[in-house]
Amino acid sequence: DQQVKQNSPSLSVQEGRISILNCDYTNSMFDYFLWYKKYPAEGPTFLISISSIKDKNEDGRFTVFLNKSAKHLSLHIVPSQPGDSAVYFCAALRGGNKLVFGAGTILRVKS
C-alpha cells in the first residue's frame, strides 16, 4: 500500500534551469509534508516542509507547492545547481503517526 508515490525515478536538468520534482499521495488525512535530500553514504537531510493549511512554502531557491484537491506535491528548485544532484524523497504524515516516504527521485544537474 504505497500511500506516497514518486513516479519519476530520475530527472536530468541543465544547470541554471528549473528542476520540478513531483509527489502524489493517497491518504487525505495527511496534514504535513516534507522534502528530504540524500547524498550517497549520508542520512537524508531535511529540505523544506509545508502544512496542509498552506499551498506554497518558499525557502531561497526551493519552493514546495501543495494541491490538496489533486493530492499532489511538488518541489521546485530554481536555479538548479550541480550541488543539487542527489536523491530527493517526499514524505507525509498525519499528526502523531509515522512519517511515510516516497521511493525517491534521482536528480542530476548537468553543468
Partner 1 sequence: GAGVSQSPSNKVTEKGKDVELRCDPISGHTALYWYRQSLGQGLEFLIYFQGNSAPDKSGLPSDRFSAERTGGSVSTLTIQRTQQEDSAVYLCASSSRAHPTAFFGQGTRLTVV
The residue range among 12-20, 61-69, 72-80, 98-106 that interacts with partner 1, by the rule CB under 8 A, is: 98-106
76 burial type by CB count under 10 A (0-12 exposed, 13-18 middle, 19+ buried): middle
How near is the Cβ of 86 to partner 1 at its closest, in Å? 14
Kindly write out the interface string for residues 39-68 of this chain, putting x where it contacts partner 1 by CB under 8 A and - elsewhere. --xxxxxx--x-------------------
3-class state of residue 66 by DSSP = strand
b/e code 89-108 from CB counts within 10 Å (16+ = b): bbbbbbeeeeebbbebbebe
- Identify which of residues 77 and 92 has a Cβ nearer to partner 1 in the complex: 92
Give residues in contact with partner 1 (CB under 8 A).
32, 34, 36, 41-46, 49, 89, 91, 93, 95-104
